[in-house]
Amino acid sequence: MPNLDIHASKEYTMMVEPGIMDRLGELVLRVANPKKVCLVSDTNVSELFAEKATRSLQKEGFDVNVLILAPGEGTKSMSSLNRILEFLAEHEYTRSDILVALGGGVIGDLTGFAAATYLRGIPFIQVPTTLLAAVDASIGGKTAINLKAGKNLAGAFWQPSLVLFDVDTVLELPEEQFKDGISEIIKSAVIGDAKLFDYLQTVENPKIIDFTMECVMGAVKVKRDLVAKDERDTGMRKLLNFGHTMGHAIELVSDYKISHGRAVAIGMLACAKAADKMGWSNRDCAIPIWQVIDKYGIDAKCPFDPHQLAAAALNDKKRSGDNISIVIPLEIGMGAIMDIPVHELEEFFRAGLE
């Protein structure tokens, strides 16, 4: 079954396989030799998978503690972080024990940040249970919580020791959440893998498991290569933000009622259209991007105006001084990072949304 090795400040493997959650305990032993394992999850995910994961860990003789938090973005907070840290201290976790994040991006980011800070750093394992987390948040070592002023404003780069994606978990995913993952996969294809884009464009009625494996392997390879070159996100890694400058603004202005995947789809399409109009792309990428977004039933109509979105985006942490970084497609499979003056952002958004 396919494995992907990630080369960053820590070398680790992502294993992508149907049913792999049953082997969680045995696979922990490949990367650590803990006495205790703390499984962190949320109420939605734990109902489906916590028992299976716990059973597998207990089979190997680990002392397992389970901490279940509320689902949703609100959990990515200082108080949840504090709860995990106090829980670990109460149960006398040491540096040779381990955390397991079982869930989507919220649980992964939060648990990773707790692992980065408890005793100045203990190992953790990512077990993503959404397609979105499997192709993005679970690899690359960005861990964070949100502050009042915005998303992911406190965090650390802290790589997991192992990432396990049980492909069978997508069978439990609501359709809208599956589409959120597809949107990030389209993003990876546009910035770095023309073959993956071609697969997304041409595949007809695939078996869901085969389709997921193909897409996850392709998208994670794009991210893996960027993380290997730029783990700390000072250069090429920013390509992964394609569609995200406008996307984050849409999430914010909609009060998070528009999902991340849909917001990114709108952002990608607008960016491709604007870049083509400005003559920055080698060829028009907006049409093929729109075709793929439409094929997977992602609603890419933008309900907000460019002025509102530019104002929200200018609070984004990707802004540096008088410029803001945006990602554009040069052609399908090749992205580029452009720094534009902040006062031109509204015009850029307008060009993309007209």
If binding means CB under 6 A, how many residues of this protein chain bind ligand GLY? 6
Q: Does 260 bind ligand GLY (CB under 6 A)?
A: no
Q: Does 136 bind ligand GLY (CB under 6 A)?
A: yes
- CB neighbours of residue 10 within 10 Å: 14
H or E segment to which residue 247 belongs: helix 244-253
Smaller CB separation from ligand GLY, 6 or 27: 6
Q: For ligand GLY, which residue of 34, 112, 140, 243 counts as binding (CB under 6 A)?
A: 140
CB of 298 to ligand GLY, least distance (A): 18
Smaller CB separation from ligand GLY, 237 or 262: 237
Q: Does 251 bind ligand GLY (CB under 6 A)?
A: no
Interacting residues of 275 by C-beta distance below 8 A, sequence separation 6+:
281, 285, 328, 329
- CB neighbours of residue 278 within 10 Å: 16
CB of 64 to ligand GLY, least distance (A): 29
Structure tokens belonging to residue 113: 């940040």
Smaller CB separation from ligand GLY, 236 or 278: 236
CB of 230 to ligand GLY, least distance (A): 9
Interacting residues of 134 by C-beta distance below 8 A, sequence separation 6+:
16, 128, 165, 181, 216, 220
Q: Does 173 bind ligand GLY (CB under 6 A)?
A: no
Query: Where does this chain touch ligand GLY (CB under 6 A) — which range of 67-75, 118-126, 232-240, 253-261?
Result: 232-240
User: Rounded distance, CA 42 to CA 298, Å?
Assistant: 26
Q: Does 142 bind ligand GLY (CB under 6 A)?
A: yes
CB of 241 to ligand GLY, least distance (A): 6
Per-residue buried b or exposed e for 152-172, using 16+ beta carbons within 10 Å of the residue's own CB: beebebbbbbbbbbbbbbbee
Smaller CB separation from ligand GLY, 235 or 303: 235
CB of 136 to ligand GLY, least distance (A): 5
Say if residue 70 is exposed, middle or buried (CB neighbours under 10 Å; 0-12, 13-18, 19+): exposed
Q: For ligand GLY, which residue of 237, 260, 262, 273 counts as binding (CB under 6 A)?
A: 237
Q: Does 76 bind ligand GLY (CB under 6 A)?
A: no
C-alpha distances in angstroms, 108 versus 89, 177, 229, 328? 20, 16, 23, 28
User: Rounded distance, CA 137 to CA 129, Å?
Assistant: 11
Smaller CB separation from ligand GLY, 36 or 262: 262
3-state DSSP assignment of residue 13: strand
Of 118, 100, 125, the closest CA to residue 50 belongs to 100
Query: Where does this chain touch ligand GLY (CB under 6 A) — which range of 2-10, 16-24, 96-104, 134-142?
Result: 134-142
Smaller CB separation from ligand GLY, 42 or 136: 136
Pairing of strands 319-320, 323-331: antiparallel
Q: For ligand GLY, which residue of 190, 240, 300, 353 counts as binding (CB under 6 A)?
A: 240
Interacting residues of 343 by C-beta distance below 8 A, sequence separation 6+:
none
Q: Does 214 bind ligand GLY (CB under 6 A)?
A: no
Contact residues toward ligand GLY (CB under 6 A) are 136, 140, 142, 233, 237, 240
